[in-house]
Amino acid sequence: MDGYDGTVRLGAINLKHDRAADFDSATAAPDVSVSSPVTRQKAAAAKQFIENHYKNYLQGLQDRKDRRRALQRKVQESQVSAEEQEEMMRNLERRETEYMRLQRRKIGIDDFEQLTVIGKGAFGEVRLCRAKDTGEIFAMKKLKKSEMLSRGQVEHVRSERNLLAEVDSRCIVKLHYSFQDSDFLYLIMEYLPGGDIMTLLMREDILSEDVARFYIAESILAIHSIHQHNYVHRDIKPDNLILDKNGHLKLSDFGLCKPLDDKYSSILLENDDLTSQESTSETEGYSVSPWLMPKEQLQQWKRNRRALAYSTVGTLDYMAPEVLLKKGYGIECDWWSLGAIMYEMLIGYPPFCSDDPRMACRKIVNWKTCLKFPDEPKISAEAKDLICRLLCDVDSRLGTRGIEEIKAHPWFKGVQWDMLYESEAAYKPTVTGDLDTQNFEKFPEVDGPPSVTATVGPWRKMLTSKDNNFIGYTFKKSDILKSLESSDADIRVNGSSKTPSLITLLGRIDLQDTIIPESEQKPEA
Amino acid sequence: MSLFGIGRNQRTFRPKKSTPSGSKGAQLRKHIDATLGSGNLREAVKLPPGEDLNEWLAVNTVDFFNQVNLLYGTLTEFCTPENCRTMSAGPKYEYRWADGVQIKKPIEVSAPKYVEYLMDWIEAQLDDESIFPQKLGSPFPPNFKEVVKTIFKRLFRVYAHIYHSHFQKIVSLKEEAHLNTCFKHFILFTCEFGLIDKKELAPLQELIETIIPY
């Protein structure tokens, strides 16, 4: 106890959790030398877990109360018999009970059948999988713990899990479960078979303004949905914009997401390297615009682009200057990224791309000199104006004073913002059946030497002990509204054909603005 | 033999004969009011309308287990066999471990050993499909509430040990609001469903009276 020598190991993993205040108080604790770094780390994680728990617990109870009250109100207004009313209430109660049981069910790797690999990178892989009990198809993101720790990615992992668990929006890829074993962290997410915008751009080279307008507009709604939860993405890029089977866009991959009140940190290039070149605009290759690069060089950039998407570094081509310079930044940095993506959609290349990541960074930081437009392909004056209003200083950047100023830009004239996700998408991906992965790159199944099976239990040890870096990682999301749909059959069996279904009743209150009508099911190939 | 093998004369809970320290209570009161401001926990513990009682007990049992696990886990550096030779709750109370199966007669063990036995035992109950069914449609056993009561009685002992032996460490780690909130919720839930006998709550009586005035 008091015998601890008070020595703090240099280079110890510094777990920065989501609340800056807690972080500050932790470092300012008067008894800081009395406990070890591991103990303080465990305490910080435990505190966050408990805070999250009570937030979710109380919100869950409130949501449940709201669902019950809403159904009661609608049942009373409907023309059904007392018996049928009671039956509908009992159905809701049964669903709530089932949901509650699911909340304490342990989810693990054995509950899923692993299928095709659709993504592979430094930290792990993304794979199609099927839930053994329901047959439902998901994307499983599997992250190697040892890589997370050695590359300082613990905080990124936590950020992604926390955001996905917190934000429930049709613009964001849905997280269904997260869990861990001794070697890996797992995120079980919605599978979006349409591929990503990066793949679309590589195939199409440029998009028409109508197609680009549609996807930039949907991107705006997606980015706004995480901003509303006080998260900044910081790394919006075409790889993170994924299409569902109907071609609608969802935002994914939140490894760099940080709550707005977090302290700034970055592993990006140092200030000096970026600013020291600022006055040497004559440097050879420095001011070369993408379309003036040799064609072969651009093709090489595209080939490298896909490899970068799966690497540790990724690509910095879409990152805002204030992020690169490690200045303070806010949600505005995401609008810059959107401007760079829009440029690429219409011109064919990002505005500041380069084979050399450091050169790309220099171009971004010196955007005033380096942002240029080629004579071909032709783009409208409005499109050019919008790009210039997104790729500019924070103070004058559109979006800094709210999303409405972006939506109001002339280039978006005619966009029905509240109908985007209900309308037909500008591009319809080819998807054949639930297991189709044709819109993703092919990855060979490398059957390496069979590794020792990761240890799953005991769960308590997973919750605490050596894995305190990943405390509170487990998450289960059950879509109770979705399960209400399946109660239609029950109602029909027990009641008259005129009985309003639960989904119909609830739909009038909750579902109209959230559920996208399902298109007809495509038959399996 | 009873279901858990605990005979009438084999008590795991034995009052020690000594005078309680007044300063201990004073120390507790100093930080006892801090909570997370977690809304209305008194309402939160009530059985939701239309909900199955066993299901409600089950999901909350898992939550309380997780919370105690995490809170105690932050103290392992201090709660050692040397510092906590027995599972004590102040000078007056001491717990000995027996689960009725592996260890039929209560044995005196250090606090960390007791907690390890306890947590492993609880986890075995939670993982047992015949007690805490996970599959939809599987029923709870007729004695389910009795199992829950035993779990709660034993979880309380961890809280009692933490408050009496390690509260200053909790304060130095800035965890007292979290500990107090979890404990308050635990006690409110316990009283709502009558899960722990009053005499078992004696080690933290002063604290409990601030949560549930009689």
In three-state form (DSSP H/G/I as H, E/B as E, the rest C), the secondary structure along A106-152 is CCCHHHEEEEEEEEECCCEEEEEEEECCCCCEEEEEEEEHHHHHHCC
* Count: domains in chain B: 1
B-chain residue closest to A68, CA distance: B49
DSSP conformation class of A511: I
Per-residue buried b or exposed e for B23-46, using 16+ beta carbons within 10 Å of the residue's own CB: ebeebbeeebebbbebeebeebbe
CA distance A134 to chain B (A): 12
Q: Are A109 and A181 in contact (CB under 8 A)?
A: yes
Question: Do A415 and A361 fall into the same domain?
Answer: yes
Is the torsion defined by CA of A146, A149, A150, A156 positive or negative? positive
What domain range is B154 assigned to?
A: 52-209
Looking at the partner chain, which of A64, A103, A106 has a beta carbon nearest the beta carbon of B59?
A103
State the DSSP string of B159-182. Answer: HHHHHHHSHHHHHHTT-HHHHHHH
Q: Are A342 and A216 in contact (CB under 8 A)?
A: yes
Is the pLDDT assigned to residue B115 strictly greater than 50?
yes
Phi, psi of A183 (to 5 degrees): -110, -25
How many CB pairs lie under 8 A apart between chains A and B? Answer: 125
Give residues 4 to 23 of B whose Cβ lies within 8 Å of A. none
Q: Give every CB contact of residue B132 below 8 A, 6+ residues apart in sequence.
A: A104, B58, B61, B62, B125, B126, B140
| CB–CB contact B48 A65 (8 Å) | yes
CA distance B87 to chain A (A): 17
Note the pLDDT of residue B161.
96
Q: Are A363 and A293 in contact (CB under 8 A)?
A: no
Candidates A18, A181, A235, A253; catalytic one: A235
Tell me how far apart the alpha carbons of residues B91 and B16 are, in angstroms, rounded to a whole number. 7
Give residues 133 to 172 of B whose Cβ lies within 8 Å of A. 133-134, 136, 169, 172
Q: How many other C-beta atoms can be found within 10 angstroms of the C-beta atom of residue A368?
A: 10
What does the block give as tokens for A446? 């490398």
Better-scored residue on pLDDT, B193 or A259: B193
What does the block give as tokens for A378? 């032709």
Phi, psi of A241 (to 5 degrees): -105, 110
B-chain residue closest to A102, CA distance: B134
Question: Do A96 and A128 fall into the same domain?
Answer: no
Residues of chain A neighbouring B78 (CB-CB closer than 8 A): 1, 35
| CB–CB contact B136 A51 (8 Å) | no
Is the torsion defined by CA of A250, A253, A256, A262 positive or negative? positive
Question: Do A202 and A179 fall into the same domain?
Answer: no
What domain range is A334 assigned to?
A: 195-263+291-420
In a domain, A429, yes or no: no
Looking at the partner chain, which of A53, A93, A465 has a beta carbon nearest the beta carbon of B50?
A93
**Before A377, cis peptide (omega within 30)?**
yes
Is the pLDDT assigned to residue B77 strictly greater than 70?
yes
Tell me how far apart the alpha carbons of residues A190 and A196 are, in angstroms, rounded to a whole number. 14
In a domain, B41, yes or no: no
Note the pLDDT of residue A287.
53
Nearest alpha-carbon partner for A150 in A122, A178, A180: A122
What are the CA-CA distances from residue A497 to residues A88, A384, A488, A492 (Å)? Answer: 14, 57, 11, 6
Q: Which residue has the tokens 């303080």?
A: A40
| Range in A473-487, B66-80, B161-175 the model is least confident about | A473-487
DSSP conformation class of A250: E
How big is the CA angle at B182 (ends B67 and B77), to the nearest 5 degrees? 55
Written in H, E and C, the secondary structure of A207-219 is: CCHHHHHHHHHHH
> pLDDT tens digit string along A270-304?
344 444 443 444 344 445 566 666 666 666 676 66
Q: Which residue has the tokens 């040497």?
A: A280
Question: Do A181 and A138 fall into the same domain?
Answer: yes
Q: Give every CB contact of residue A279 below 8 A, 6+ residues apart in sequence.
A: none
Q: Is B44 on the interface with A (CB under 8 A)?
A: yes
Tell me how far apart the alpha carbons of residues A345 and A204 are, in angstroms, rounded to a whole number. 9
Per-residue buried b or exposed e for A315-324, using 16+ beta carbons within 10 Å of the residue's own CB: bbbbbbbbbb
State the DSSP string of A492-504. Answer: HHHS-TTSPPHHH
| CB–CB contact B181 A39 (8 Å) | no
Tell me how far apart the alpha carbons of residues B64 and B183 are, in angstroms, rounded to a whole number. 9
> pLDDT tens digit string along A166-222?
777 879 887 888 888 888 889 898 899 988 898 888 778 789 999 999 999 999 999
Q: How confident is the model at residue B71 (pLDDT cuts 50, 70, 90)?
A: very high
> For A103, how many CA atoms within 13 A lie in the half-sphere containing its CB?
20
In a domain, A340, yes or no: yes
What does the block give as tokens for A277? 């070149």
Residues of chain B neighbouring A103 (CB-CB closer than 8 A): 59
Question: Do A345 and A362 fall into the same domain?
Answer: yes
In a domain, A44, yes or no: yes
B-chain residue closest to A53, CA distance: B63
Tell me how far apart the alpha carbons of residues B97 and B114 are, in angstroms, rounded to a whole number. 6
Note the pLDDT of residue A446.
56
Tell me how far apart the alpha carbons of residues A249 and A338 are, in angstroms, rounded to a whole number. 14
| Range in A503-512, B65-74, B126-135, B202-211 the model is least confident about | A503-512
Question: Do A117 and A67 fall into the same domain?
Answer: no
Q: Is B81 on the interface with A (CB under 8 A)?
A: no
Total residue length of chain B = 214
In a domain, B21, yes or no: no
Question: Do A210 and A185 fall into the same domain?
Answer: no
Q: Are B66 and B152 in contact (CB under 8 A)?
A: no
Nearest alpha-carbon partner for B112 in B72, B67, B150, B160: B72
| CB–CB contact A43 B136 (8 Å) | no
Please confirm, yes or no, whether A235 is among the known catalytic residues. yes
Question: Do A96 and A125 fall into the same domain?
Answer: no
Question: Do A337 and A407 fall into the same domain?
Answer: yes
Tell me how far apart the alpha carbons of residues A466 and A454 are, in angstroms, rounded to a whole number. 15
| CB–CB contact B50 A468 (8 Å) | no
> pLDDT tens digit string along A5-64?
222 222 222 233 333 333 333 334 444 456 888 888 789 889 878 987 897 888 899 889
Q: Is B37 on the interface with A (CB under 8 A)?
A: no
**Type of residue found at A213:** R
CA distance B126 to chain A (A): 9
Q: How many other C-beta atoms can be found within 10 angstroms of the C-beta atom of residue A519?
A: 9
β-bridge mates for residue A258, sequence order: A232
- Mutation site, B45, B46, B173, interface A, largest A CB count within 10 A: B173
Note the pLDDT of residue A459.
41
In a domain, B13, yes or no: no
Note the pLDDT of residue A310.
53
CA distance A104 to chain B (A): 6
Looking at the partner chain, which of B49, B83, B185 has a beta carbon nearest the beta carbon of A1?
B83
* Count: domains in chain A: 3
State the DSSP string of B25-64. Answer: HHHHHHHTT-----S-HHHHTSPPTT--HHHHHHHHHHHH
Residues of chain A neighbouring B36 (CB-CB closer than 8 A): 50-51, 54
Report CA A416 to chain centroid distance, whole Å. Answer: 24
Note the pLDDT of residue A255.
59
In a domain, B93, yes or no: yes
Tell me how far apart the alpha carbons of residues A115 and A127 are, in angstroms, rounded to a whole number. 6
Tell me how far apart the alpha carbons of residues A235 and A309 are, in angstroms, rounded to a whole number. 12
Note the pLDDT of residue A272.
41
B-chain residue closest to A63, CA distance: B48
B-chain residue closest to A58, CA distance: B44
Residues of chain B neighbouring A26 (CB-CB closer than 8 A): 174
Q: What CATH number does the domain containing A133 carry?
A: 3.30.200.20
Tell me how far apart the alpha carbons of residues A405 and A411 are, in angstroms, rounded to a whole number. 12
Looking at the partner chain, which of A40, A98, A465 has a beta carbon nearest the beta carbon of B173?
A40
Looking at the partner chain, which of B56, B174, B178 has a beta carbon nearest the beta carbon of A25?
B174
In a domain, A19, yes or no: no
Question: Do A173 and A56 fall into the same domain?
Answer: no
> pLDDT tens digit string along B26-52?
545 445 566 776 567 888 999 999 999
Question: Do A204 and A353 fall into the same domain?
Answer: yes
What does the block give as tokens for A155? 């905080």
Q: Are A492 and A503 in contact (CB under 8 A)?
A: no
| CB–CB contact A104 B49 (8 Å) | no
A141 labeled binding residue = yes
Q: Which residue has the tokens 């004969």?
A: B17
The overall average pLDDT reported for chain B is: 83
Nearest alpha-carbon partner for A517 in A440, A418, A424: A424
Looking at the partner chain, which of B36, B49, B73 has a beta carbon nearest the beta carbon of A51?
B36
Q: What CATH number does the domain containing B185 carry?
A: 1.20.140.30
Question: Do A314 and A372 fall into the same domain?
Answer: yes
Three-class DSSP category at A187: strand
Tell me how far apart the alpha carbons of residues A266 and A234 are, in angstroms, rounded to a whole number. 11
State the DSSP string of A408-430. Answer: TSGGGTT--GGGTTTSPPSS---
Note the pLDDT of residue A455.
53
Q: pLDDT digit of tens for each residue in chain A (525 aa)?
A: 232 222 222 222 223 333 333 333 333 444 445 688 888 878 988 987 898 789 788 889 988 989 887 988 778 788 788 888 888 887 899 779 988 887 787 678 888 988 988 887 776 888 889 898 889 899 998 887 887 777 676 766 767 777 777 777 879 887 888 888 888 889 898 899 988 898 888 778 789 999 999 999 999 999 998 898 777 887 888 988 989 989 999 987 665 454 443 333 333 333 444 444 434 443 444 455 666 666 666 666 766 676 666 555 567 789 899 888 876 778 889 999 999 999 999 999 899 988 787 788 878 988 988 998 998 787 999 998 999 989 998 889 999 879 989 999 999 989 989 889 989 898 878 888 878 888 887 677 654 444 445 554 444 444 443 455 666 676 665 544 444 433 333 332 223 333 333 333 332 222 222 333 333 333 333
CA distance B9 to chain A (A): 32
Domain boundary among A56, A74, A102: A102
| CB–CB contact A104 B62 (8 Å) | yes
